[in-house]
Chains A and B, each alone.
Chain A
Amino acid sequence: MTASIEPGSPVARGERPDAGSTADPTAGLASNVGTPYTTPMSGQTERAAYLGMPGQRPPRLGFFTDTSLCIGCKACEVACKEWNLVPPDTGPSGSHPADLDELRSMDLLGMSYDNSGALGASTWRHVAFIEAEHRTGAAQQGEVRWLMSSDVCKHCTHAACLDVCPTGALMRTEFDTVYVQPDVCNGCGYCVPACPYGVIDIRPGDGRAFKCTLCYDRTKDGLTPACAQACPTESIQFGPLDELRERADRRLAQLHAEGVPEAQLYGRDPDGGVGGDGAFFLLLDEPEVYGLPPDPVVTTRDLPQMWKRAAVAAVGLATAIVGSFLGRR
């Protein structure tokens, strides 16, 4: 099947109409960042071209989060909760509030300006703040550095949560995003330890598993996900994954050329242990500094071996029992 991109559409061009005009001092911006669908300046006015014609399969959609552009405003966190009606959350350290009064005891986590703590059932975007010293570059070594990064569900190509879900509540959408059907999930919790990124979680009081839906209810209608729409610096970029990967490669090359050798792409590579992430990142330090696993592997990769072992164990058990009955007495 082919992705349905109309020739000449903004998607196919991969840039805004005015990009490349040499007389325009803003040229260069548009070719570096910005999704064809949404920009802070333009807002979104049209249905995205990726929806294509009826019957055609849409392209794989995803996020490219360029943390070098993240200003730590947390608009993504709030926009996500607003759109998806995610309840307030005290973060992993706190009691999950049943009503607003309990929110009064919300914790100051002391993790720089991060008071959300981590992704969870009620935090689908999480902005990390890392206070550290520059480790590279003689000029900057030892100076204060403050990294910010908006984390999200990775929408893995090989998604462990989806693989292990016994009810089929977790499904892959036509955009190849990973989605939990809340009317099917029975809260077995298997997806929780299966996720190599620690994203999905059970919401206390509700009992079901929740995570980023990549705003399936918006993408279906050709709208940009709430977080990307709200991001004022286009740190969160949304679009067809192929195109995001190309854009990320350009941005990485640009940063390397500008003397930012520590810039690296995370989750971009389709050869990775999860087959590449539908939501991937440009990081300015090692993944673990941001709380990301450096080399995650989908657990089901080893599942054939496990089933073989289980079969051996079962046969062994049966044999042992039979054997124990073989004696005289």
Chain B
Amino acid sequence: MARGRRRERDSMVPAAEFSSYYGRPILKKPTWKSPDVPVYLWVGGLAGTSAVVAALGDATGRPALRRSGRLVAAGGALAGTVALMHDLGRPERFLNMLRVIKPTSPLSIGSWILTPFAAFASTAAAAELTGIAPRLGRLAGWGAALFGPPLASYTGVLLSNTAIPAWHEAHRELPLLFASSGAAAGAGAQLLITGLTGAGGRERGPMVRLAVAGATAELVIGEMLEKRLDRIPGDIAGAYRTGAAGRWNRLARGLTACGGLGALLAGRSRVAAIASGAALAAGSLATRFAVFEAGRASASDPQQVVAPQRARLAERGSHSSAEGSWLATENATSPAPRT
């Protein structure tokens, strides 16, 4: 009856597209708040790196690095904890995070990293500020240094262990990206502070090297990430290149590149060192915003969900063969096998 009837697009109940339900997202957008979560991701890298820097500064006789590293680590731990609590729907239940230890939940593991880190870092910072119990402070500093690198890198897992294509498909790169970005941020912060406080070149030297290495790694890994996503159907890389994420990303790359180059070329110039350090820290923050926004955009785009899955099905000849959760047999949260 309706055979050959002309389709009137645009101006009617939209004919269901093959790929989506009225263009609606398949996934839910993360309810995580901004800037809480990007800031949390950033301070994790910043504080984690700073704690290691402080410990090594202490060990190698660089008191300025020790002092500022301890303070940044403690301040970051505090800010991260506040950001994390503020992001909860029920902040008064923050401690429920410590009810269980779940390796399947990066946020659980992260809580168990953040908590001792914060304790160590604040103890070290307190010792630094008060001068009381310096040995305890040193011990605590090493404790914080131990938890610092995991704090910087676990946030990559936090994001990639979701269904959001822009995050999940980048799961090989995100921990590396966040760690290197953390290095750049931590080094940048030290450059900034040592520049402001006028610390000597000996204090600054390691930070310049770390800044250049971190910035270089951040840029390279960021590029690798996009290259990988480019190979997946559904224009997932577009999530990083367009919209708010694209703007943050371009800003991050610019700042990081300038900061890295600046640190390398600053020489004795305090101003250049301060500017480079600030650029690196800001670039790192922008990277977190970029990744965060890319995830939000990716969740909203049903094409990014459907296209890769369709391609996967086609590759398998639509025969299903996924092996299921790695925890299927051991973990209590999955159904136990029935006989």
Whether A and B touch (Cβ < 8 Å) is answered with yes
Taking Cβ atoms with an 8 Å cutoff, the residues of A that contact B are 1-3, 57, 59-60, 92, 110-112, 117-118, 120, 128, 130-133, 141-144, 157-160, 162-172, 176, 184-190, 192-202, 206-209, 269, 271-275, 286, 288-307, 309-318, 320-325, 327-329
Given contacts A142-B3, A202-B89, A298-B325, contact A288 B302 (CB under 8 A): yes
A142, A291, A306, A318: which contacts B161 (Cβ < 8 A)?
A: A306
Across-interface contacts of A199 in B (CB, < 8 A): 28
**B13→A110 contact, CB < 8 A:** yes
**B97→A306 contact, CB < 8 A:** no
Given contacts A164-B107, A317-B52, A329-B205, contact A60 B335 (CB under 8 A): yes
Q: Which residue of A lies closest to B33 (CB)?
A: A189
Across-interface contacts of B2 in A (CB, < 8 A): 133, 142-144
CA distance A271 to B322 in the complex (A): 6
Determine how close the nearest CB of chain A comes to the CB of B4; give it in whole angstroms.
Answer: 7
Judged by a CB distance under 8 angstroms, whether B213 is at the interface is yes
**A309→B325 contact, CB < 8 A:** no
Q: Counting chain A CB atoms within 10 Å of each CB, which of B48, B153, B323 scores highest?
A: B153
Within 27-42 of B, Cβ neighbours of A (below 8 Å) are at 27-32
Q: Counting chain B CB atoms within 10 Å of each CB, which of A143, A164, A202 scores highest?
A: A164
B26, B31, B148, B171: which contacts A305 (Cβ < 8 A)?
A: B171
Chain-A contact segment, one of B71-79, B280-288, B305-313:
B305-313
Contact pattern, B 1-17, Cβ under 8 Å of A = 1, otherwise 0: 11111010000011111
Across-interface contacts of A314 in B (CB, < 8 A): 149-150, 152-154, 175, 179
B32, B53, B93, B172: which contacts A186 (Cβ < 8 A)?
A: B93
Q: For chain A, what secondary structure do more than half of its interface residues adopt (helix, strand, loop), or is it mixed? A: loop
B1, B56, B88: which contacts A143 (Cβ < 8 A)?
A: B1
A120, A187, A193, A200: which contacts B299 (Cβ < 8 A)?
A: A193
**A293→B26 contact, CB < 8 A:** yes
Given contacts A295-B313, A299-B168, A316-B179, contact A272 B322 (CB under 8 A): yes
Total A-B residue contacts, Cβ distance less than 8 Å: 351
Across-interface contacts of A201 in B (CB, < 8 A): 28, 31
CA distance A327 to B324 in the complex (A): 48
Given contacts A303-B157, A306-B157, A313-B178, contact A208 B89 (CB under 8 A): yes
Across-interface contacts of B168 in A (CB, < 8 A): 299, 302
CA distance A271 to B214 in the complex (A): 42
Taking Cβ atoms with an 8 Å cutoff, the residues of B that contact A are 1-5, 7, 13-22, 24-32, 48-49, 52-53, 56-57, 60, 87-91, 93-94, 96-97, 99-100, 102-108, 110-111, 148-150, 152-154, 156-157, 160-164, 167-168, 171-172, 174-176, 178-180, 182-183, 186-187, 201-202, 205-207, 209-210, 213-214, 217, 295, 299, 302, 305-306, 309-310, 312-313, 320-328, 331-336, 338-339
**B153→A310 contact, CB < 8 A:** yes
Across-interface contacts of B99 in A (CB, < 8 A): 167-168, 184
CA distance A189 to B162 in the complex (A): 11
Q: Counting chain B CB atoms within 10 Å of each CB, which of A209, A271, A298, A311 scores highest?
A: A298
Determine how close the nearest CB of chain B comes to the CB of A194; give it in whole angstroms.
Answer: 5
Q: Counting chain B CB atoms within 10 Å of each CB, which of A188, A209, A294, A309 scores highest?
A: A188
CA distance A158 to B330 in the complex (A): 12
CA distance A111 to B22 in the complex (A): 7
A60, A163, A208, A289: which contacts B105 (Cβ < 8 A)?
A: A163
Given contacts A193-B162, A195-B28, A196-B163, contact A165 B335 (CB under 8 A): no
Across-interface contacts of A162 in B (CB, < 8 A): 333
A130, A288, A317: which contacts B48 (Cβ < 8 A)?
A: A317
Across-interface contacts of A169 in B (CB, < 8 A): 96
The 9 closest A-B pairs by CB, nearest first: A187-B89, A207-B89, A291-B21, A186-B93, A158-B325, A314-B149, A313-B179, A313-B153, A329-B205
**B209→A2 contact, CB < 8 A:** no
> Can you report 8 A-B residue pairs in the complex whose CB atoms are below 8 A from each other?
A120-B28, A142-B5, A163-B325, A168-B102, A184-B99, A195-B163, A310-B156, A328-B205
**A324→B49 contact, CB < 8 A:** no
CA distance A210 to B71 in the complex (A): 40
Q: Which residue of B lies closest to A169 (CB)?
A: B96
**B325→A300 contact, CB < 8 A:** yes
Across-interface contacts of A305 in B (CB, < 8 A): 171-172
**B96→A271 contact, CB < 8 A:** no
Q: Which residue of B lies closest to A276 (CB)?
A: B324
**B97→A188 contact, CB < 8 A:** yes
Given contacts A131-B16, A132-B15, A313-B178, contact A321 B49 (CB under 8 A): yes
**A159→B333 contact, CB < 8 A:** yes
**B333→A163 contact, CB < 8 A:** yes
CA distance A185 to B90 in the complex (A): 8
Q: Beyond the given A318-B149, A327-B205, please list 16 additional residue pairs across the A-B interface where CB-CB is below 8 A.
A: A111-B24, A141-B3, A167-B93, A170-B333, A186-B93, A192-B31, A195-B28, A207-B89, A290-B21, A291-B22, A296-B309, A301-B326, A307-B103, A307-B157, A309-B172, A317-B52
**A301→B323 contact, CB < 8 A:** yes
Across-interface contacts of A327 in B (CB, < 8 A): 205-206, 209
Q: Which residue of A lies closest to B55 (CB)?
A: A321
Across-interface contacts of B29 in A (CB, < 8 A): 192-193
Across-interface contacts of B108 in A (CB, < 8 A): 166-167
**A167→B19 contact, CB < 8 A:** no
Determine how close the nearest CB of chain B comes to the CB of A254; give it in whole angstroms.
Answer: 22
**B28→A186 contact, CB < 8 A:** no
**B97→A160 contact, CB < 8 A:** no
CA distance A323 to B183 in the complex (A): 12
